[in-house]
Structure 1
Amino acid sequence: GESGSGKTTLLTCFNRLLRPDRGRVWSNGEDVSTLDPHRLRRSIGYVPQEGGLLPHWSVLRNAATVPWLLGRPDAEAAARDALDLVGLPASGFGERFPGELSGGQRQRAAFARALAARPDVLLLDEPFGALDAITRAEQQEAFGALRRRLQVAALLVTHDLREAFLLADRIAVFRAGRIEQEASAPVLAAQPATPYVATLLHSAGLDA
């Protein structure tokens, strides 16, 4: 959806940064409004826009944030495993700071932080939006492979319909706070439900 359509607003309802005026949000069969917000957020991997790494912490310490907050004695080991998963081994990158990384490396470090506690769900808010075209394509491919390998559910916000077609099993098209259509990429391309969806597909060159 376009900017201001409600994508990020909905995303932040999942981890209770916002409370919906109406309706309910369910995760793993539970109404999130009934859960402790701190416990909920620590059970969900979250990659905000620009990655959200703390600039004064090392890459390893950033990656260990959630396991450490959960009181896990293996927080550092979990962070090292996550950094290995995303291709940033701690032996080479763990003691660096975010400002010493390239854009693609910072994004990988943000994914490592989100994955270190092995969450059931990942929330991603335009995670590739700030990257140049070549790096964005590389990170999209790497993320798709990683998600398939880990079999983790992901809710990804993007304004890029091509990115959604590349990465998503299901796509929800937003407009003015409402879902215009929710479907798989092939169904969306072949059977746009509204004129807005048809126009969006045509502008991206994705119409059937």
Structure 2
Amino acid sequence: MKKYLYLGITLSVLLSSCTQETKVEQVVYEGSAKEAIIDNLLSRRAIRKFTDQQVSQDQLDTIMKATIYAPSALNKQAWEIRFIQNPKIIAEINQRFLTFAQGKEFQGSAAKYREPGFSISHHAPTFVVIATEKGAAHARLDAGIALQNILLSSHALGLGTCPLGTIVPILNLPENADLLRLINIPEDYEVTINVALGYPAESPTAPVRYSDKVKVIR
């Protein structure tokens, strides 16, 4: 249930000899709505097994809206975000990783790249690219905030996500610039993070959280 607190605030502002009244609406979540928000934050997990079911356009619309509502420094929104559902492009991204990976060692799931049928995006049907403006002071931080909006809004819709960092520097290599042009990433932007997105085929347990890393200073 949403409880709306209306704060009637009259601001006397001299603008072209006109006085404007601004009514501010503050939304306070209580009860089940508040609990749902907190539960969404605490129950989200990185998903590395997906079904074949594709994310719908309605779901993408909701996720994209949540994404562009992420705060950014000076509201510059110095990002370009692509939700790729074309299987040929996703397969090509995976092949570029495999080509680069030959003879190299990686950590995490990428270490299994020699296995048959390997997918750098865990066979998710949607591959998300978040690119940021090169040299923009706060662009990477803004991308991280936008990323979290993607993760949380997707989870709220019953979808699964996994941030993908290993492929990032590979997509930014000069020999892969054609891929970025293919998905209309401007030349003055670079890939900052990627996301695997789809319906989860697993329910992983939460890894250990280190509560001593967060402290209150009074």
Which one has a bigger Cα radius of gyration?
2
TM value normalised by structure 2: 0.24
TM value normalised by structure 1: 0.25
Which structure has greater strand proportion? 2
Which structure has greater helix proportion? 1
* Bigger RCO (CA 8 Å, 6+ sep): 2
